[in-house]
Structure 1
């Protein structure tokens, strides 16, 4: 058995243990922790920021004439290195607290405590390092008592640095959360275009074919992959020719026939001059899905779906007709379904002049969409 087919079998076996849509959502959206750690790009900028801080600090002392260039640069790094290293701990603490989901009062208490400790530790490490450096250079111990104004300014600077680091962390976490939410919403919206029962039944049919006809199973797997790929790409602004739309509809119908067999019959009456007309991508698939789910499938003998397209002057008319049981005539043939609402929304976005008509009469359901007859390459 081919490796890709074997992998497909494993995927199908796993998929059938849970609803197909849930499995695909889990597959397409990584389940990250509540917060993701900063990237290497962030840490590179973090290092660069402290180098700039050290250079600026040294520059102020050089301009004031209190230190030589070498002494000022040494002092600048002596100030920046402890602050930067302690800052790493602040960043890690902020992310850990977010992951632990503390209550707001607990977060305020912990951050207040660490905000008090951060500048104190910074000053302690900074001046201790300076004394040890003097000991190493001069060979004797030297005790430095920093001036009171220096302690005050360094402490205030430490508080501001702490607040800046915490604010930066929360800004990054908020941006990551928004991005994950947007991705998840996009994937869920995309997968909502498919009936989860269709996905489940198709996967189940392919799984059965893997035991009886691997060539047919591989072909069905390839068709499903094409359909899913096109669905993921079919955003609100995407369009293609009616010819391409019909090709994708035939793939969808072929997959449906795998489980419905002779209960599903399809007839097409497509005028040649309509094939190059532009149409929203996958606009017909929800209509066909609606026709099968509310028309063909509930009937024991099945039924026929008729797809027709013709030009009326400068307008493209696409008609989809199907038989339906009496129960669906009373319930409205899925009139309030997601699929029909999705079609209406896509048509409005595609062109304000687009029109549609969905109606049931005499045991049949008719769906009509009217679009400007543009060429797909216009």
Structure 2
């Protein structure tokens, strides 16, 4: 709801409440003065709406000028006592003038006596105080809502900063490993080292396009994995095989950029890199209703526990932290070693560009 609509509804509800008070006062006037129902309504309803406007503006600005948390209680009570008394006196004066005018215009009118004026004075002061209390409640509600909005914005900014920090951990880690590989190939096979350098440059050029997005489609993430593994295949050759299968409806699902790359990098370093005959890295993804399930699986040496199996490497820790920052409890990552396979399973909400609109 926008601010203009909310303000119009508030004014309408305020006037409706005062109209109901006017009808109630008309009943009291009818019972106390003996005036007819029509004369009582004609007398009280215009006066009530007039007083509603006077109380509304006066009490509102006084509530803004004398906030309860910043002014002494005695000063606030004194100001509102004299303000209510002044407003009630003016209301009684207006009532006397309106009663005189009604006497000239109508055959039957309300007679304003001293006891009647005293009662109106007390009712007027009470209504003014009630209006002031209502304004204080509204101002407190608005203050709490603004504080909640600022807190939410702060949390979003902190979350965005955390996500950026976690993403920046990946690039130096991957770059360090890749440069080590290039350095090792330089003395053995300069041609392959040059190919790997070119592939690395292309990979980072592609990642620059992803940096501007908070989330990317799974199809773009898989294409990035293919580019990354093309770099590694310069070093491993046919020992490294990559297979992937993306189920129907999963390719357009969104996820944090480069969330799978550290998992695949771990699979190369701690899995395929430790096998003489190499092995396969598989990425499987499927959409199950409101969830996106992704599995990264690779061959490992069954007789040697990989260092990433304990979940203490920077890749697995980074992925777990990024999922927690982006999705909270809705995202999770689990890993397990089963025989000659190491599996990492990710579960996150199945979001698409259409669902974000």
TM-score scaled by structure 1?
A: 0.49
For residue 17 of structure 2, what is the aligned residue in structure 1? 49
Q: Which structure exhibits the higher relative contact order, with contacts defined as CA atoms closer than 8 Å and separated by 6 or more residues?
A: 1
For residue 269 of structure 1, what is the aligned residue in structure 2? 242
Correspondence 1:333 to 2:303: no
Correspondence 1:40 to 2:8: yes
Distance change (3 Å), C-alpha of 1:125 and 1:224: farther
| Count of aligned positions | 264
Question: Conserved in 1, the CA contact under 8 Å of 2:295 and 2:343?
Answer: no
Distance change (3 Å), C-alpha of 1:279 and 1:349: farther
For residue 135 of structure 2, what is the aligned residue in structure 1? 165
Offset, 1:223: 6.4
Measured against aligned partners, the alpha-carbon deviations of 1:323-357 in whole angstroms (never above 9, x if no partner) come to xxxxxxxx9537765x5323257595357xx6236
Q: How does 1:1-378 map to 2 (within 5 A)?
A: 39-62=7-30, 66-73=34-41, 74-95=43-64, 104=69, 106=71, 108-134=73-99, 145=114, 146-186=116-156, 188-189=158-159, 192-195=162-165, 227-228=213-214, 230=215, 244-248=217-221, 250=223, 269-272=242-245, 274-276=246-248, 282-283=254-255, 285=257, 287=259, 308-310=282-284, 317-318=295-296, 333=314, 340-343=320-323, 346=327, 349-350=330-331, 355-356=334-335, 368-369=344-345
RMSD: 5.6
Distance change (3 Å), C-alpha of 1:308 and 1:93: farther
Distance 1:77 1:283 in 2: 62
Question: Conserved in 1, the CA contact under 8 Å of 2:92 and 2:121?
Answer: no
Question: Conserved in 1, the CA contact under 8 Å of 2:219 and 2:251?
Answer: no
Distance 1:246 1:124 in 2: 75
Question: Conserved in 2, the CA contact under 8 Å of 1:269 and 1:307?
Answer: yes
Q: Name stretches of at least 5 consecutive residues in structure 1 with no aligned partner.
A: 1-35, 202-218, 232-243, 295-305, 322-330, 359-365
For residue 31 of structure 1, what is the aligned residue in structure 2? none
Offset, 1:86: 2.2
Q: Name stretches of at least 5 consecutive residues in structure 2 with no aligned partner.
A: 105-110, 172-205, 235-239, 267-279, 300-311, 353-357
